Amino acid sequence: DTEVTQTPKHLVMGMTNKKSLKCEQHMGHRAMYWYKQKAKKPPELMFVYSYEKLSINESVPSRFSPECPNSSLLNLHLHALQPEDSALYLCASSQDRDTGNTIYFGEGSWLTVV
Amino acid sequence: AQTVTQSQPEMSVQEAETVTLSCTYDTSESDYYLFWYKQPPSRQMILVIRQEAYKQQNATENRFSVNFQKAAKSFSLKISDSQLGDAAMYFCAYRPYLVGNMLTFGGGTRLMVKP
């Protein structure tokens, strides 16, 4: 059973739509992450939040907009996406950002852009 | 920059047999952590095992164990008594003990388990 919960599990959106992916963890972790994963590839880091502040943005296009409303929630707002943005989006969390704490992943949100 | 290499894109094993997945990494750091994650078709990344580089003893978790060779920068995963549920993509990952450094993943190994 995962302790990082992501919704929705599947999302199909048009290139002009605005949608959001949501992530929640109840482990008291203070670091949360968004990863993007294409088929048969390892996950690629997109954003890192540490104590609810954005600490790393891996040069992600502005059509992806992260938000951390509180220490348990992480959102990824999507707008004007391209078909090549179709991928599995994984949320993850760890006790904190700056040590070797294990990073725990959610089940992912599969996004298809049409 | 750190790199993680998994040289076996695919492996297969007979049910109940043992299989070893290879992983090598490149780093100039002395303190770091290594992980094996499993990703079944459900796509959730599940932690299998974790190794701290300062520990000489190899980590074990039930049927899963690692062979950690720090000098050789090698971190292989052994799965004993393979089960059908072990079929998945396995990713080796490295994380240094430095501020702000994140996980670096290998390219993955797809493990198939034959009944």
Judge if the upstream peptide bond of residue A8 is cis by omega within 30 degrees of 0: yes
Question: Would the pLDDT of A1 be above 80?
Answer: no
With CA atoms as reference, report the closest residue to B7 among B23, B26, B27.
B23
Radius of gyration (Cα) for chain A, nearest Å?
Answer: 13
CB contact under 8 A, A42 and B106: yes
CB contact under 8 A, B105 and A42: yes
Identify the residue among B61, B102, B111 best suited for mutation to test binding to A, counting A beta carbons within 10 A and taking the highest.
B102
Q: Is B90 on the interface with A (CB under 8 A)?
A: no
CB contact under 8 A, B47 and A97: no
Residues 6+ apart with CB under 8 A from B57: none
Q: How many interface pairs between A and B have CB atoms less than 8 angstroms apart? A: 52
Higher pLDDT residue, A7 or A1? A7
Is there a contact between B39 and B110 (Cβ–Cβ < 8 Å)?
Answer: no
Which H or E run contains B79? strand B74-79
pLDDT tens for residues B21-42?
999 999 988 889 999 999 998 8
Cβ neighbourhood burial of B34 (10 Å; 0-12, 13-18, 19+): buried
Res. A99 pLDDT band, cuts 50 70 90: confident
pLDDT tens for residues B32-82?
999 999 999 888 899 999 999 999 899 999 999 999 999 999 999 999 999
CB contact under 8 A, B32 and A100: yes
